[in-house]
Structure 1
Amino acid sequence: MSRPPGIRALGLDPGSKRIGVAVSDLSGTIASPLVVVQRSRSKEHDLHEIADLAREEEAEVIVVGLPLNMDGSRGPAARAATGFAKALATLVDVPVEMHDERRTTVTADESMMAAGLDAVQRRQRVDKVAAAIMLQSWLDARANRLSS
């Protein structure tokens, strides 16, 4: 089975206070936590900060986590993430996609607890780890789509 072509992807987990950011390796195989961007009072500023990060990381696609409800419906958080993605798409020259991120924050917190991190350490990292879990899911789904 041949491998799909690599892609440099930036993954975002936009929350109301912080935006978790993850990045893939150059082959588009492995996602890693990158940074947590603290939200400012200006959505415009936050969007430009993410757009700048995407350029610095030479992202070829940006994947924004879509926090669907467990039943698959879209609540306020999903609508906010969709609005964020649409606004970001106007500032960057690469595709902006959405990907289901249900339970990524819970999974991230559980994995950090298992690794022995205390509550303060987990709070500092959970958003970027959740972004990496979501981005890894997108990368795996992409590889499956391209190889079938």
Structure 2
Amino acid sequence: MPETTQAQTIMAFDFGTQKMGMAVGQSLIESASPLALFPMKDGIPKWDALLKIVQQHQPNLFLVGLPLNMDDSESELSTRARKFAKRLRHQTNIQTFMVDERLTTREARDELEHYQAQGRGKKLAADSIAAALLIESWYRDPQAINP
């Protein structure tokens, strides 16, 4: 289990085959901020570009959304998200955990409407808000993380 009492920078990823939502958070103040969407090509990122973003934020923990079916079974997308998480860990040597992302997209769409109503959501996407929600769920219950 990750240490929850120390200040940590957390990056979260809402994996997708065409685009990936990303967010960054600071555990000390329990913040979670959506970042720009990251383009994917058939589920594969341009690693050089992704690693530059990682380097900018200097995280010490990654969360990757695990898209489970409502009956807890895994799909092809779950397998691909796990593969991405494994490669991310290998590329960076940063602790990486999978987080159940069920229903985050629906919640993220609701939040996006809220951001847009305030005039702040023009450049945001539901996928990046979903990544921020993964960070927020970790703040609420870090024991729910799956290695």
Tell me the TM-score range normalised by the shorter chain.
Answer: 0.7 to 0.9
User: Does residue 23 of the first structure (1) align with residue 42 of the second (2)?
Assistant: no
Unaligned runs of 5+ in 2: none
Moved more, 23-32 or 5-14: 23-32
What is the aligned-residue identity percentage?
Answer: 26
Give the number of the structure whose residues are more often helix, by fraction: 1
After superposition, where does 1:77-96 map in structure 2 within 5 Å? 77-96=77-96
Q: Could you say if the C-alpha distance between residues 115 and 91 of structure 1 is closer, same or farther in structure 2, counting changes exceeding 3 Å?
A: closer
Q: Which amino acid aligns with 1:69?
A: N
Shift of 1:111: 2.3
**TM-score computed with the length of structure 1 as normaliser:** 0.80
What number of residue pairs does the alignment pair up?
138
- 1:118-141 CA distances to partner (integer Å, 9 max, x unpaired)? xxx689511111110112111221
Distance 1:50 1:139 in 2: 24
Root-mean-square deviation (CA, aligned residues, Å) is 2.5
Unaligned runs of 5+ in 1: none
* 1:49 shift after superposition: 2.6
Residue correspondence of structure 1 range 60-71 to structure 2 within 5 A: 60-71=60-71
- In the alignment, structure 1 residue 102 sits paired with structure 2 residue 102: yes
CA contact (8 A) 1:54 1:62 kept: no
The alpha-carbon deviation at position 28 of structure 1 amounts to: 5.8
SS in 1 for 2:37: strand
In structure 2, distance between residues paired with 1:122 and 1:103: 23
Q: Cα distance 1:22–1:75, how it changes in 2: closer, same or farther (>3 A)?
A: same
For normalisation by structure 2, the TM-score amounts to 0.81
Q: Distance in 1 between matches of 2:84 and 2:141?
A: 23
